[in-house]
Amino acid sequence: MQAETSPNGSGDPGFGRCFSDHMAIASYDLAHGWSTTEIVGFAAMSFSPATMVFHYGQAVFEGLKAFRQPDGSISMFRPDDHARRFNRSAQRLAMPAQAPGVFKAACCELVSIDQEWVPAELGHSLYLRPMMIASEVGLGARPANEYRFVVIASPVGSYYARGVEPITVWASPDYVRAAPGGTGSAKCAGNYAGSMAAKIQASAQGCDETLWLDAGEHRWVEELGGMNIVFVIDGPDGTSLVAPPIQDTILDGITRKSLLELGRRLGYQVIERPVSIDEACRAGSFQEVFACGTAAIVAPIGAIRTPSRESVIGDGQAGPVTMRLRDALLALQDGRADDPFGWRVKVTEAEPSVRRCPVPAPSCAGTSVAERDPTSV
Ligand SMILES: *Cc1c(COP(=O)(O)O)cnc(C)c1O
């Protein structure tokens, strides 16, 4: 079977279906702290069924991208912000933080060794997935004393198979993603597990994603399952971006933050205030609505559905402000535009703090990951 992608291959690789040749890995135990990060061949990992992550769910992750630049070099987008958030997520789940620089060095070194996996096509990138899990073996509900940090990489194109077509979102009447004091602002696996039932409900309603409302009143729009939400008012008095303010029930998205800053620079007014589901659905409140996150960058929202109504946003198509912001961010990420913010971080050769293991890497070129190693899926 021919895979959709390979190093230097063309065509749309889709999202997260194939992985590069290597991975970065480090271990932690209470007595020794974090080990040196190593680059090893991408391979299945084996764990005892009594490993604590399977039972108590201490698992956090990140998602960031490396982009091929016009001069052939490679830059990651805001890796330090992702590193800080990774440590914050870890802290919320009582997992150990990493020393400054470890996260970025691991990502840099992985991208550097697998640089031929960074696509050059417009809108494509190498998606990095750092994660940390409790690796201690034993039952007993307490914070584990051993952890594993792993970074894998996947060449990606469009997050949605149909590209930047508008998506429809479903405001679930039954489920809640996050409550005050909970884990909503941590990028932890459990948040996703808890949202899958709503995702099934959304699909049954013909919708692409869940639109989460607040836990207390079930009235205030918070975010999507894996993307933040921004509303656009485009009127005679100018353009405003309206975004629900970040609180501990909302993931502090780096794409959201970047788009709001870019919007300000483009002369838009940026307003962070609560938006109710009634306001979001009322005809004329907003001319455009979009979701944003590292994976999809910007996904226009064409309609919002609740059990009682379906509200089409504008004409249901991707709006000009949405597309302008999307293009501006992508141009900054892939080096076609200036970077006045210092968000691009060049991937340099050889991070001295990371050890390259001389184990030959299996190649995923021309095979799907499942084919390469059936135990890895
Ligand atoms: C990752 C994530 C986002 C988007 O964050 P980015 O930093 O922009 O990728 C939004 N919401 C949730 C729940 C997430 O997990």
Count of CB atoms within 10 A of residue 43's CB?
Answer: 16
Residue 374 vs residue 229, higher pLDDT: 229
Q: How far apart are CA 346 and CA 307, in angstroms?
A: 47
Q: What is the pLDDT of residue 7?
A: 63
- Residue 157 and residue 9 in contact, taking contact as beta carbons nearer than 8 Å: no
The C-alpha atoms of residue 90 and residue 215 are separated, in whole angstroms, by 23
Residue 50 has pLDDT above 70, yes or no: yes
Distance CA 240, CA 289 (A): 11
Ligand 1 contact, 254 CB (< 6 A): yes
pLDDT higher than threshold 70 for residue 10: no
Query: Which comes out higher in pLDDT, residue 307 or 373?
Result: 307
Burial zone of 127 (CB within 10 Å; 0-12 exposed, 13-18 middle, 19+ buried): buried
Model confidence at 344, pLDDT cuts 50, 70, 90, reads: very high
In this predicted structure, the answer to whether residue 377 has a pLDDT above a threshold of 90 is no
CB 292 within 8 A of CB 230: yes
Cβ–ligand 1 contact at 63 (below 6 Å):
yes
| 293 Cβ closer than 6 Å to some ligand 1 atom | yes
Find out whether 36 and 109 touch, Cβ atoms under 8 Å: no
Distance 186 CA to ligand 1 centre (A): 10
6 lines ligand 1 (CB under 6 A): no
Between CA 44 and CA 138 the distance in angstroms is 21
Q: What is the mean pLDDT of the chain?
A: 92
Q: Poorest-confidence range of 33-37, 260-264, 370-374?
A: 370-374
Report d(CA 196, CA 244) in Å as an integer.
Answer: 23
Residue 366 confidence (pLDDT): 37
Q: Whose CA is nearest to atom 10 of ligand 1?
A: 227
Checking if the pLDDT of 219 tops 90, the result is yes
pLDDT per residue as tens digits for the range 255-282: 999 999 999 999 999 999 999 999 999 9
- Give the dihedral sign, CA 184/170/311/219: negative
Q: Is the CB of 226 under 6 A from ligand 1?
A: yes
**Of 216, 201, 215, the residue nearest 169 (C-alpha):** 201
CA distance 246 to 223: 10
How would DSSP label each residue in 179-247? -TTSSTTS-BHHHHHHHHHHHHHHHHTT-SEEEEE-TTTS-BEEEESSSEEEEEEEETTEEEEEEPPP-
CA–centroid distance, 303 to ligand 1, in Å, is 21
The residue whose CA is least distant from atom 5 of ligand 1 is 253
Instruction: Report strand pairing: 64-68 vs 37-41.
Output: unpaired
Residue 250 Cβ inside 6 Å of ligand 1? The answer reads no
Phi/psi at 258 (5° precision): -65, -45
Residues 56-98 have pLDDT tens digits of 999 999 999 999 999 999 999 999 999 999 999 999 999 999 9
